Structure formats: structure tokens, C-alpha cells
Amino acid sequence: MDDGNSPYDPALGDWQTLVTVFSPTEAFLLRGVLQAAGVPAAVADVHLVQTHSLLAPAIPVRILVPERRLERGQDVLVAFERGDYVLPDGDAEDHSDNNDSSGDHA
């Protein structure tokens, strides 16, 4: 079963905590941002928060990155918080090829 975490690569060093958050949703979002930027990332301790919901405010969720990608991960988080990855408001452009005049839309 794929949990969405990047696989461990010993060549990149041990997993290091990049940041902790108190929301599993925020942790998964940040993991996705890091992975999209090419930084391997993993979420840890989310099951503790989900299992012990009454203790959730006291249990941080960790976002981990490999030791040799820690600096790049920090740069990505700063860019994310600065708003570099914000999507433009309004309708998203449709980049699909809708100009197919043959009528064959398989």
C-alpha cells in the first residue's frame, strides 16, 4: 500500500525533521509541495494524531526530508509561505487540445 511518502534513499542521508505542524491535512499539503518541487518528503506521526484525537493539539505531525535535501526543503517552504506557488484567481486555462475538428474524441 502506497502511503504517499517518498521512498528512503540511503544516498541522501537519514530522514530529518523539516517542520512540525498540528494538522494532518497541512502535513500532507506540505509533503505534496515538497515532492512537487523535487524534494523527497515523508509525513510521520499522523496516525497518532488521528488515533488520539483528544490529544491532537499536543501531538505534532512531522514532515521529514533527507539530510542532504534539508536546505532545499527549507527553501521550498519559504517560497510556499511567501506565496510563490499560489494559483491565479479566476478560471484555470484549459491546456487540453479542444481544437480537434475530426470529432473523434476517444
39 near 73, Cβ under 8 Å?
A: yes
Average pLDDT over residues 9-36: 95
> How confident is residue 1, by pLDDT bands cut at 50, 70 and 90?
very low
What digits encode the pLDDT tens for the residues 84-94? 988 888 765 65
- Compute the average pLDDT of residues 75-85: 95
Q: What is the DSSP string of 57-100?
A: GGSPEEEEEEGGGHHHHHHHHHHHHHTTTPPPSSPPP--S----
Mean pLDDT of the chain: 85
pLDDT tens readout for residues 52-77: 777 777 788 999 999 999 999 999 99
The residue count for the chain: 106
Beta bridge partners of 64: 17, 42
Percentage with pLDDT > 90 across the chain? 58
Please give the pLDDT value at position 106: 47
